[in-house]
Chain A
């Protein structure tokens, strides 16, 4: 079944097509939600909410991007909205917490779980900007619009998140190549 047929089936409220869409993308979107949300329950809630919105809004999908990209965008927005309510997401964190000891670092030895663990330890603001920029590929301008922050804030949060990751890598003694 092509992507277009799948979308049209979901628009027709064809239960099989909707189930197929769920089976195809739910685990990927769960991983995405986990990277943004604080815990498993919040991520699962965001995942279900995202799929509810996806099923409702598939009529708006114009095939200008891939279906997966569009669905990820929906899931990202839902996750961000869940976090947005919290205050001080983008609080300044003392850079001394993440002093970098080494400039020659390598993440190659890390597997996916370890990377996720590292990202999970980042403060919420850092984590969101890092995920949006590095993983999802949004520009700083888009991130600024999504998070309602300045483009400069997005850049500084990204820089700080990178430093934080390097510092954590060093603390795990995995930083030296």
Chain B
């Protein structure tokens, strides 16, 4: 005997069951609302965006650390160069000091410190060091044909020099104390008798230097003669290659909003829509400067696009209109009679239906960006273009145009967005720049049947630009 499946279907298919008080329509809608909020956290696009931001931050941190190291390394190179200039100067007007420190060549930072001692001891002896200081300043401040661009302002430079002097003063004091331990002679006496000391005897030094094998020193000349009263030589221009040249890479974070109004709400249009659409874009870009004012880059972008409004359907038709007339029929010797005459005519009638519509589209795009920086007068401005292919991550509701509306398919759909902007730039610091971007934005999505739905928005964006 065959099993009675139909019996079960008949009995059970249309059966109903009650649910408890824990279940209601309102609770379903609450759960739906919570799910929409929760969707932000589990959606992969959220983590992709956070990942990009994290990587951007990490890259900025690493680059910043690298630049700091480069900055620390540069003074050594610069000081070598300074030493050469300073030494030439000291050779002219600080002979005793050179012998006191027993140092002729200075290749390192330590050598530079010794040289500073010499420089300061000359000031202890009451000799004018103004010319040396000025020379040093002039060396630090750019030479015309030198590439070692120094980013110090003159006040910073003076502070730094004062600091160096302070350090060397302390060094001298400590050195003096140690020498006092060896000899009980007062420091002043020793200084006052310097001419009698062998160590300050220049002829002896010249003998020693002449007997020594001449060697190439870092000035590029041999056989340094300290007794040359008017030593004049041109220092070769050493190319100081700075490692902290400004980076060509930038990161940019921007937020753009826009709106678009659809206002065709007229009775003579069969189907018309009164609606407003808003969009917001959140964008992160990595850009490269090509040094002619142009930048190219790419990144990631999340867009929200919502629209709401009303539709109106106007139906014009001809409806029958019946008019009746009562006619008296009066015949001789006959009772009065009335007749009703009906006259049917067709008159135009208008039926109007209205309804509410709204939709929401979220999408993730991958923008390719171009920037051109220039200035209008003294105001730096930036022209920007974007082209951002991507895909929708959420589509719901009823999409509308000026004369049509239809439900959007919730399947993933291709999108192509575009944007052009022209706006002023406001430098905040050397590395951070704020940009205002009045924008014209194009938003679109392509349905699976290759129908392109697009709209233009006007709006304003703000961007923050950071140089790595």
Measured CB to CB, the residues of A under 8 A from B are 8, 11-15, 18-19, 22-23, 26-28, 30-31, 34-35, 40, 43-44, 47-49, 51-52, 55-57, 59-60, 103-105, 107-108, 110, 112, 115-116, 130, 133-137, 162
A27 contacts which of B18, B22, B27, B410 (Cβ < 8 Å)?
A: B18
Tell me, rounded to whole Å, the shortest Cβ–Cβ distance linking B6 to chain A.
Answer: 8
B346 at the interface (CB under 8 A from A): no
Closest 9 pairs (CB-CB, A-B): A27-B16, A31-B17, A134-B5, A22-B25, A30-B17, A134-B8, A52-B32, A51-B28, A31-B15
Tell me, rounded to whole Å, the shortest Cβ–Cβ distance linking A137 to chain B.
Answer: 7
B407 at the interface (CB under 8 A from A): yes
**How far is it, in angstroms, between the C-alpha of A134 and the C-alpha of B4 when the chains are bound?**
9
Nearest neighbor of B22 in chain A, beta-carbon distance: A44
Q: Which residues on A sit within 8 Å (CB–CB) of B4?
A: 107
Nearest neighbor of B3 in chain A, beta-carbon distance: A162
Tell me, rounded to whole Å, the shortest Cβ–Cβ distance linking B1 to chain A.
Answer: 6
**How far is it, in angstroms, between the C-alpha of A44 and the C-alpha of B24 when the chains are bound?**
10
B462 at the interface (CB under 8 A from A): no
Among A26, A55, A105, A115: residue with most chain B CB under 10 A? A26
**How far is it, in angstroms, between the C-alpha of A10 and the C-alpha of B14 when the chains are bound?**
23
**B397 pairs with A31, CB closer than 8 A:** no
Q: Which residues on B sit within 8 Å (CB–CB) of A12?
A: 355-358, 397-398
Contact A55:B358 (CB < 8 A) given known A19-B25, A28-B16, A116-B12: no
B19 at the interface (CB under 8 A from A): yes
B408 at the interface (CB under 8 A from A): yes
Contact A115:B11 (CB < 8 A) given known A27-B18, A34-B17, A60-B411: yes
Number of cross-chain contacts by CB at 8 Å: 105
Tell me, rounded to whole Å, the shortest Cβ–Cβ distance linking A77 to chain B.
Answer: 16
Tell me, rounded to whole Å, the shortest Cβ–Cβ distance linking A161 to chain B.
Answer: 10
List, sorted by A's number, 28 A–B pairs whose CB atoms are closer than 8 Å.
A11-B398, A11-B407, A12-B355, A12-B357, A14-B356, A19-B25, A22-B28, A28-B14, A30-B17, A30-B23, A34-B17, A44-B23, A55-B28, A56-B410, A57-B410, A59-B395, A59-B396, A59-B410, A103-B1, A104-B1, A107-B4, A107-B7, A110-B11, A112-B11, A115-B8, A115-B12, A116-B12, A135-B8
Tell me, rounded to whole Å, the shortest Cβ–Cβ distance linking B13 to chain A.
Answer: 6
Which residues 100-118 of B sit at the A interface, judged by CB distance below 8 A? none
Contact A108:B7 (CB < 8 A) given known A22-B28, A59-B409: yes
A135 contacts which of B13, B17, B25, B35 (Cβ < 8 Å)?
A: B13
Nearest neighbor of B2 in chain A, beta-carbon distance: A162
**How far is it, in angstroms, between the C-alpha of A105 and the C-alpha of B28 when the chains are bound?**
43
**B8 pairs with A13, CB closer than 8 A:** no
